[in-house]
Amino acid sequence: MLTQLTIKNYALIDELHVNFNNGLSIITGETGAGKSILLGGLSLILGKRADLSAIKDASKKCIIEATFDIAKYNLKTLFVTEGLDYESLTIIRREILPSGKSRAFINDTPVNLNSLQVLGERLLDIHSQHQTLQLTNDDFQFQIIDALANNEVLLTDYTDKLKQYKGLKAELEHLHLQKAESIKELDYNLFLLKELEEAKLVAGELETLESEFETLNNVEDIKEKLTQSHRLLSHEEVGITTNLSEVKNQLGKIAGFGKQYEDMYQRVVSSLIELDDMFSEIEQLEGQLEADPNRLDAVNSKLQVIHNLMLKHTSQSIEELIEVKENLAEKVSATEHLDSDILEKEKVIIVINEQLKLKASALHSNRVKVIPDLIKQLERILGTLGMPNAKFNIELQPSEVFLTNGTDNLKFLFSANKGGQFNDLKKAASGGELSRIMLAIKSILSKYTQLPTIMFDEIDTGVSGEISNKMASIMQQMSKTMQVFTITHLPQIAAKGDTHFKVYKEDIENVTQTRLKKLMPEERIVEIAQMLGGVDVSNSAIEHAKQLLN
């Protein structure tokens, strides 16, 4: 409920601060006194775009601040979703700066207008002639029926499941597109993969193959040089090892004559050992070396394949080619697994589809059950509001697709006159009739769901007498479970309020200002008497006002 309202520097309001109570609050005042200014300020709290021309003093900022008691509204989840700090007493503030820039705050946290609108529509419902057009909206009509059918939890489950269903359908469509694209590339990828697999690539083998090729390609020359080296080392007369052995023998004879001779001797011994090893290895290499034209062709062919593949795939090494092969294998495998992925996704979609059908069917059944009672209540209330011949025909027609709230198409048909044809509500009802229908609907809804604070803006236009009494009684009944404001020109309605505020203009230092005042009991009598008989209050008007208040 709205507990406090502060308005500064807005239109004809210099500064206004007022506290509100629960129940039915009446707002009265002469035409042009500024009731629309009050509504304009509240609409800013609901997220309406600011107008710089609304600032009273263009050199100062305009501030609209409202405090709401939201303890009973179950809004903690909404606050979490919007990233706001939850407070049972929530303060909403709008500021319009002289520059024209607008700022909004919820519990001192800056917010955008969208967040303000999302929260505002849960806190305050300003009902005007224009707002009655909401009656002709399918979504609003479904809200009415679903409130009576207690479909809130079921609708949430359905909505969550529908979101999951649409997500899966989108994923399935993506898989089909992916498959179509993959099929175009599959044959080429398979060819490239087969080519790489047949090459039997081994990491690090390029250097080995290149070395083997050089050996086989130069085998005769290598063998000749090894043989010559072998002869130079081992020849009986000129061989290096033969001569070095003789040097060793000679130095051995003088090694005992001094350290320098011993060191020289040891060096020759070491060199001789190394030469013996070299001799053995040359001899082994020479023995292993044979011309092998077949192997040379095989190595050359393998090298040619590798170099061609490296050129084709712009790779610098066998390791890069192996990586290309692995990537191709993944693409081919992914393409081959797409069919199974599509099949699995289709199975899940079938299950979700059946679950949605069950939930949609339950929603439909619940709606069908409450429609007769809704029609009965609407016709009864409208009968008391001067529309005794008002008739409704509410139809639910099945849809072949899943809609946002089930599989029902709704027809909300109305006839205002006896024997008249049923027609769409927006075509069959006048503006005044729509206002009374909206009042009837709000009064019914107040029994089934926690409605936000509602402000009726001259909903009683065009009615008088007993009907105005009935309207007042309906609003009074609604105010037992919610906070209700009504702006009225009718004394019969004004007298039913728990609290009475008067909007009036006052000239201060040659400047006209709009004021809002809570009336005391005696002031209230005078105000209602003036509504009955004009500014010059008669004794009979006073007595009549007292009777209405009692």
For residues 85 and 184, state if they share a domain: no
Q: Which amino acid is at 59?
A: S
Q: Which amino acid is at 323?
A: E
For residues 188 and 118, state if they share a domain: no
For residues 230 and 114, state if they share a domain: no
For residues 307 and 186, state if they share a domain: yes
Residue 63 lies in a domain: yes
- 550, 548, 520, 516: which is closest to 532 by C-alpha? 548
- 413, 460, 433: which is closest to 28 by C-alpha? 460
The last residue of a domain, from among 320, 337, 354: 337
Evaluate whether 329 touches 193 at the Cβ level (below 8 Å): yes
**Alpha-carbon span 33 to 39, nearest angstrom:** 12
Residue 469 lies in a domain: yes
Structure-model confidence comparison of residues 458 and 166, the more confident one: 166
For residues 114 and 218, state if they share a domain: no
**Alpha-carbon span 23 to 478, nearest angstrom:** 8
Q: List pLDDT tens digits, range 414-457.
A: 998 888 889 988 788 887 788 888 899 999 998 888 888 999 98
For residues 106 and 235, state if they share a domain: no
Q: List pLDDT tens digits, range 138-189.
A: 888 999 999 999 999 999 999 999 999 999 999 999 988 888 877 777 667 7
CATH number, domain with residue 7: 3.40.50.300
Helix (H) or strand (E) holding 104: strand 102-106
For residues 78 and 189, state if they share a domain: no
Find the DSSP H helices in 385-464.
Answer: 425-428, 431-448
pLDDT the model gives residue 278: 82
For residues 1 and 119, state if they share a domain: yes
**Alpha-carbon span 343 to 354, nearest angstrom:** 17
Residue 164 lies in a domain: no
The last residue of a domain, from among 312, 337, 362: 337
- 374, 373, 372, 355: which is closest to 363 by C-alpha? 355
pLDDT the model gives residue 94: 94
Question: In which domain, by residue range, is 120 found?
Answer: 1-128+458-519
* β-pair partners for 125: 454
Total domains, the chain:
2
Residue 537 lies in a domain: no
Contacts of 458 (CB under 8 A, 6+ apart): 128, 129, 487, 488, 489
State pTM to two decimals.
0.68
For residues 316 and 182, state if they share a domain: yes
